[in-house]
Amino acid sequence: MTSMFLNITAWPPGLVMIIAAFALPFIPHLARQGWMLAAIALSAYGLTTGAGVHAVWEVLGFELILYRADKLTLPFAIVFHIAAALNVFYSWHDRKWNEHMASLSYAGAAIAAIHAGDLVTLFIWWEATAVTSVFLILAGGTSQSQPAAMRYLLFQVTSGVLLLAGAAILAATGTGIAFDKMSFGGADDFGVWLIFIAFGIKAAFPFLNGWLQDAYPEASATGTVALSAFTTKLAIYALARGFPGTDMLIWIGAAMTALPVFFAVIENDLRRVLAFSLNNQLGFMVVAVGIGSELAINGAVAHAFVHIIYKALLFMSMGAVLHQVGTIKASALGGLYRQMPFTMVCCIIGAMSISAFPLFSGFVAKSLTMSALGDTGIVFVYMVLLFASAGVLEHSGIKIPYFAFFAHDNKFETGEAPIGMRVAMGIAAALCIGIGVYPDPLYSILPYAIDYHPYDASHVTGQLQLLIFAMLAFVFLIRMKWYPPEIPSVVLNSDWFYRRLAPRLAAPLIGGIVALSRGLSQGIKDGRDNVINALENLMHNPITGPTVPGKAVMLQALLLSVILVLAYVVGA
């Protein structure tokens, strides 16, 4: 134990970032950025310890595995560190310490969670990601961001509580708390289900996804970038660790890819469009985890890796627009290609990556999942994912860059985003193209050894046909003026059930209870008043005839009673 604390390479990666975050309020602005990068570098250095179990803590008869590394943790750990570093550059202009502290400790907690070898340690970091990240939503500073942050926290904490309850059941039924592949149908079935739902909330399964589209777009320009990277991909890691090859996930994932597509078409807030798009991307990873073959798990991990970078890039470009223009509503934007050409180019690189254009990072990752799906023979899901690919192109590939940078020639008086934002976007864009052109380094860190070549003529021309002709459909709709216009509006999502339906249903019930308790307390008050009034009446008003007052009668009655008692005593 002592040696573990002395040797930094045995520390759970990410922990050093959380500790470093506490010093941020006391460090001046520019030095603070350097401090954060140093903490991230130190944490990344901890990864060089390599595969194995490096830190175990015996407590209350349980073995808490604080640091377990293997081939599944490594790619997630690497990309989480990249995302954390990108975020430091992106928020370089921010002179206040609050958001930096939240995002550094949030990234640290997510990295530590990846390395948890048991469910209790996982629970601790799982909740830590919730309580650190909520400050990024509060930092949005709008009238909507505070209630959205509270709803977000409610869901995240619920997920944690379910995880802990599940772990308790697993411990009680003798399965133990080690975090490995779980299976349904045993004595611990109920516990496994609880854990599955806990993961499902963070992975934004259908109907458990409301918090994502509700809260992420309400965070600050820089906060959404950090949020987009960690929580949901931590959930993908957890599913890949605990539930690989669970058939149910194929169907859940397919629904996740398809449903958000329709919402994204009509959403006006471009960061919310990206949140729907994020949900759709998670669907691809969930399908891959559900297939569970070596190729599929590689696909899920590779997809998570490239997705974190291009999704951050897209959120960064929209954050830059929000930072410069002050709004991110499609109905109020347009024509920014003139004022923000660099941001526009970066956004389009992110858009082409997520749409999986050949030579961009999305292509080399998504091909793995599609090939793995081809091996299963589940044609329907294959068709759904192909359809969802056209959907990704629609909302992330076209809608985001088109409505922000083109569409209408609005004459905004603004310029490019701060230099830090541009540096972060530039690095992310370079990674998107670099991985797309030369995927071998990415393939070499995937969990299973792989000999896969995405660039064959069939793959490339097939994918280009899908994308180019879908883009022609867009051009056709725009030229015919059939493309739905941007309308300032909100689009109802699964958060409607608890933001509107539940309060509306509960209102009569709560109203009834309030009315009943008011009526009861009024009744008691009235009764008490009546008794007091009767006594008052008795005391002040004449009772027998016009001359004898109530007081005299009372006194008389009292004296007679005393005499009566005395007579009894004497008689006895």
Rg for the chain, CA atoms, rounded: 31
If the CB atoms of residues 131 and 460 are measured against other proteins, the closer one turns out to be: 460
Instruction: Tell me the number of residues near other proteins by CB under 8 A.
Output: 55
- Segment interacting with other proteins (CB under 8 A) among 184-192, 240-248, 258-266, 529-537: 258-266
If the CB atoms of residues 21 and 300 are measured against other proteins, the closer one turns out to be: 300
Cα–Cα distance between 397 and 235 in angstroms, integer?
A: 25
User: Would you give the binding string for other proteins spanning residues 420-459, x where CB under 8 A is met?
Assistant: -------------------------------------xx-
If the CB atoms of residues 166 and 253 are measured against other proteins, the closer one turns out to be: 253
Interface with other proteins (CB under 8 A), residue from 345, 473, 553, 554 = 473
State which H helix or E strand residue 548 sits in. Answer: strand 548-549
Question: Among 370, 421, 426, 366, which residue's Cα sits nearest to residue 397?
Answer: 366
Written as one letter, the residue type at 400 is I
Q: Least separation, in Å, of the C-beta of 399 and other proteins?
A: 10
513: exposed, middle or buried (Cβ count in 10 Å: 0-12, 13-18, 19+): exposed
Place of tokens 């987009």: 228
Q: Are 543 and 550 in contact (CB under 8 A)?
A: yes
If the CB atoms of residues 7 and 414 are measured against other proteins, the closer one turns out to be: 414
Q: Verify binding: residue 255, other proteins, rule CB under 8 A.
A: no
User: Would you give the binding string for other proteins spanning residues 316-345, x where CB under 8 A is met?
Assistant: -------------------x-x--------
| Structure token pair of residue 125 | 């970091």
Question: Among 188, 288, 191, 310, which residue's Cα sits nearest to residue 237?
Answer: 288
Interface with other proteins (CB under 8 A), residue from 474, 498, 550, 553 = 474
Q: Are 65 and 114 in contact (CB under 8 A)?
A: no
Q: Verify binding: residue 351, other proteins, rule CB under 8 A.
A: no
Q: Least separation, in Å, of the C-beta of 500 and other proteins?
A: 7
Interface with other proteins (CB under 8 A), residue from 7, 9, 142, 489 = 489
Q: Verify binding: residue 466, other proteins, rule CB under 8 A.
A: yes
Written as one letter, the residue type at 542 is P
Q: Are 324 and 414 in contact (CB under 8 A)?
A: yes
Burial 66-102 (b: 16+ CB within 10 A, else e): bbbbeebbbbbbebbbbbbbbbbbbbbebeebebbbb
The one-character DSSP state at 254 is H
Interface with other proteins (CB under 8 A), residue from 197, 359, 471, 553 = 471
Q: Verify binding: residue 507, other proteins, rule CB under 8 A.
A: no
63: exposed, middle or buried (Cβ count in 10 Å: 0-12, 13-18, 19+): middle
Cα–Cα distance between 451 and 454 in angstroms, integer?
A: 10
Q: Verify binding: residue 218, other proteins, rule CB under 8 A.
A: no
Q: Verify binding: residue 379, other proteins, rule CB under 8 A.
A: yes
Q: Least separation, in Å, of the C-beta of 144 and other proteins?
A: 8
Question: Among 205, 218, 429, 412, which residue's Cα sits nearest to residue 316?
Answer: 429
Q: Verify binding: residue 370, other proteins, rule CB under 8 A.
A: yes
Q: Verify binding: residue 150, other proteins, rule CB under 8 A.
A: no
Cα–Cα distance between 516 and 520 in angstroms, integer?
A: 6
Q: Verify binding: residue 480, other proteins, rule CB under 8 A.
A: no
If the CB atoms of residues 251 and 474 are measured against other proteins, the closer one turns out to be: 474
Cα–Cα distance between 115 and 102 in angstroms, integer?
A: 20
If the CB atoms of residues 6 and 480 are measured against other proteins, the closer one turns out to be: 480
| Structure token pair of residue 224 | 């959404």
Interface with other proteins (CB under 8 A), residue from 484, 508, 545, 571 = 484
- Segment interacting with other proteins (CB under 8 A) among 80-88, 161-169, 176-184, 391-399: 391-399
Q: Verify binding: residue 359, other proteins, rule CB under 8 A.
A: no
Q: Verify binding: residue 265, other proteins, rule CB under 8 A.
A: yes
**Residues paired with 53 in a beta bridge:** 68
Q: Least separation, in Å, of the C-beta of 476 and other proteins?
A: 8
If the CB atoms of residues 206 and 550 are measured against other proteins, the closer one turns out to be: 206
Phi and psi at residue 484, to the nearest 5°: -60, 130
Neighbours of 330 (CB within 10 A): 24
Q: Least separation, in Å, of the C-beta of 431 and other proteins?
A: 26
Interface with other proteins (CB under 8 A), residue from 462, 512, 519, 523 = 462
Neighbours of 294 (CB within 10 A): 14
| Structure token pair of residue 399 | 């809608």
Q: Verify binding: residue 387, other proteins, rule CB under 8 A.
A: yes
Interface with other proteins (CB under 8 A), residue from 26, 52, 59, 409 = 409
Q: Verify binding: residue 483, other proteins, rule CB under 8 A.
A: yes
**CA end-to-end distance (rounded Å), the chain:** 86
Q: Least separation, in Å, of the C-beta of 137 and other proteins?
A: 16
Longest CA–CA separation in the chain, Å: 124
Binding site for other proteins (CB under 8 A): 144, 261-263, 265-266, 335, 337, 370-371, 373-374, 379, 382, 386-387, 390-391, 393-394, 406, 408-409, 457-458, 461-475, 477-479, 482-484, 487-493, 499-500
